[in-house]
Amino acid sequence: SKEILQDLISFPTVSSESNLALIDYCFELLRQVTSDIKIIEDTTKNKANLYASIGPNDKPGVMLSGHTDVVTVDGQDWNFPPFRMTEHNGNLYGRGTADMKGFVACALQCALNTKNKELKEPLKLALSFDEEIGCVGVRSLIEMLSNHSLRPRFCIVGEPTLMKIATKHKGKTVCRVSLTGKGIHSSEAPKGLNAIYLATDVIQSIRKKQADIIRHSFRESDYDIPYTTIHVGSIEGGTALNIVPNHSKLIFEIRNSPDDNPDDLLKGLKVNSKDTLSKIQKEFPEADAKFEIINNYPSLNTSNSSEVVSFVGSLIETNDIIKVAFGTEGGLFSQLGIPTVVCGPGSMSQGHQADEFISVKELKKCESMLSNLLKKLELGF
């Protein structure tokens, strides 16, 4: 796994770049043990998912899921070369070592270890692109699986959890609001309608909703932030100081706990905005606010007593069950009816940081889990 990880790190698969060279590398490895490999390209033919199955095609098996993209290293001060793996003091340094090429390397090695083995249940690998920008790339793989009558019995998403079993994480909805006011020379500002002011009205509504959630919502204590959050991350507007801006935009996100419905929260914000605009439109009929969802993925809400939890628990040294703050494609697989947990090597506290690393010890723990998985697949569970 360490040798494969070294190769994977050498591919600079930042989400803004192609991942095809890495996918070709994985394809060449996997075709040593299976011919059942599907490459699913995106519309630009510059990125692709890979789905492979090893073993009988009339059984559901277990799917290992991981993403191949990484975040940028721009603006970060690295002591080690980010795209060349460096081993130092028991740690492996490089962009993506923890998030999450370490798991992908272990999954690929697990696949190679099936050589000369007769599996009674198949091992499946799902490698996706553009996870880091909101689980975008995996959608075409999900669509492919939705057309299969025989789907994996279980899914393990290998995001870094220090090899603990994560059964729940928050969902995410990203929304853009485009606001229209009335532009005019700033010397006559009261005769115009400042679109930036309209944006601040929406922001104020968001802040009130967040305060209400903090005061009254159900709290899930296992999360660091035990409630749903709403956060404005970007605002644009204005061209010159002497012009009252007639357009502005803001982007906000909802990270919802499994018990909260982001659609309901978004509906409430839209109603508040409509009420505010209805008063303004008496004087400025052009006033408008358009809400547009630009990305979302669901929360993961697997029961701690489910079969997938006990199954994965039988593969690892600890049965610690946790919740994680970050999102994954796990909720999408779960919506497809595939029982899913998140369990992988390394810590997300290392992800996205300069000098990202995974310990050799964590990598070996993952190898052990997947070795135990192969034994189960040989026996047919």
Q: Measure the CA–CA gap between 164 and 91, rounded to whole angstroms.
A: 19
Q: Under 8 Å CB-to-CB from 4, ≥6 apart: which residues?
A: 29, 105, 108, 109
175 CA to centre of own chain: 17
Q: Are strands 321-324 and 165-169 parallel, antiparallel or unpaired?
A: parallel
Residue 308's SS3 state is helix
Q: Measure the CA–CA gap between 247 and 287, rounded to whole angstroms.
A: 10
Which DSSP string corresponds to 351-380? Answer: TTSTT-EEEHHHHHHHHHHHHHHHHHHHHT
Q: Measure the CA–CA gap between 339 and 256, rounded to whole angstroms.
A: 20
The reported pLDDT for the residue numbered 233 is 96
The reported pLDDT for the residue numbered 220 is 81
The reported pLDDT for the residue numbered 149 is 84
Contact status, residue 245 vs residue 183, Cβ threshold 8 Å: yes
Burial of residue 100 (number of CB atoms within 10 Å: 0-12, 13-18, 19+): buried
Q: Which of 245, 157, 134, 161 is nearest to 195 (CA)?
A: 245
Q: Which of 79, 162, 72, 194 is nearest to 366 (CA)?
A: 162
The reported pLDDT for the residue numbered 79 is 97
Catalogue the E-assigned strands of 221-273.
229-237, 243-244, 247-256
Q: What is the pLDDT along the chain (381 residues), one digit of tens a residue?
A: 999 999 999 999 999 999 999 999 999 999 999 999 999 999 999 999 999 999 999 999 999 999 999 999 999 999 999 999 999 999 999 999 999 999 999 999 999 999 999 999 999 999 999 999 999 999 999 999 999 889 999 999 999 999 999 999 999 999 999 999 999 999 999 999 999 999 999 999 999 999 999 998 888 878 888 999 999 999 999 999 999 999 999 999 999 998 889 999 999 999 999 999 999 999 999 999 999 999 999 999 999 999 999 999 999 977 789 999 899 999 999 999 999 999 999 999 999 999 999 999 999 999 999 999 999 999 998
pTM (predicted TM-score): 0.91
Q: Is the peptide bond before 100 cis (omega within 30 degrees of 0)?
A: yes
Name the one residue in this structure whose structure tokens are 């997947």.
370
Distances 154 to 28, 64, 112, 135 between C-alpha atoms, Å = 26, 9, 20, 19
Name the one residue in this structure whose structure tokens are 């628990």.
313
The reported pLDDT for the residue numbered 359 is 98
The reported pLDDT for the residue numbered 258 is 87
